[in-house]
Amino acid sequence: MVDSFKHKGLRNKLVEELSNKGIKDVKVLDAISKVPRHLFMDSSFIDHAYQDKAFPIGSGQTISQPFTVAYQTQLLEINKGDKILEIGTGSGYQAAVLCEMGAKVFTIERIRELYRKTSAFLPSINYFPKKMIYGDGYQGYEKEEPFDGIIVTAGASKIPEKLLLQLKIGGRMVIPVGENTQKMVLYLKKSASEFDIENFGDFQFVPMLKNKI
Ligand code: SAH
């Protein structure tokens, strides 16, 4: 499977759609215009790769909807060279968008099969996260703290306190919080113990679960 002019054209249309839906950050739109989303999906869904929809990726998980990826990434306000921790590697699409923006990406996945598949796949299409980790995202990744940004791509029923500890002062954490549907929540770390918290719209994610399998 290759990346053709047809795919590039479809991506440009998707970017236009995301822009119409309110995504304004040019760096985010530019990254989405470059990452070949069709390569991240099971072959049966490839024709739908550039629709603004979530799709199954195996192991009962999904590749997030492009709007959701764009929205969360926009809230992170990434600069080149920022150290970003992602919880929920899944297909690796979000991680690729972060790499495309020049972030140093650390990403954690709790399902061994997805970890295995994605950690082979991303380098094969020239995306190189700093580290892909098989583990429980509730623990974060202490070895590399503090992070400029943390992005959680599964719905958390409560805030993982360890992640807040591993955030740099001045850093941002974007996390969908709730049981059935989730509110997008942005944590801005003001000091070791103070946060500004902002709530955004409703989204739907697969659940953030404890322990690796
Ligand atoms: N960012 C992914 C979205 C995948 S869906 C993408 O772009 O494709 C969310 C992922 O979070 C799933 O793969 C799920 O297994 C994973 N997940 C859920 N709870 C987790 C946890 N505690 N630690 C790490 N990963 C977790």
Q: How far apart are CA 208 and CA 1, in angstroms?
A: 31
Is residue 145's pLDDT more than 90? yes
Query: Which helix (DSSP H) or strand (DSSP E) does residue 161 occupy?
Result: helix 161-165
| CA-closest residue to ligand 1 atom 19 | 208
Of 4, 43, 44, 64, the active-site residue reads: 64
Instruction: Produce one character per residue of 111-136: b if its CB has 16 or more CB atoms within 10 Å, e if not.
Output: beebbebbbeebeeeebebeebbeeb
Residue 33 falls in the annotated catalytic set = no
> Is residue 165 within 8 Å of residue 147, measured between CB atoms?
no
Task: Characterise 88 by phi-psi region: left (phi > 0), alpha (psi -120 to 50), beta (else).
Answer: left
Each residue's pLDDT tens digit, 51-101: 999 999 888 899 999 999 999 999 999 999 999 999 999 999 999 999 999
Domain boundaries, the chain: 56-203
Q: Is the pLDDT of residue 154 over 90?
A: yes
One of 2.60.120.260, 3.40.50.150, 3.30.1330.20, 3.40.50.2300 is the CATH number of 56-203, namely 3.40.50.150
Tell me: the pLDDT tens digits for 23-60? Answer: 999 999 999 999 999 999 987 778 889 999 999 988 88
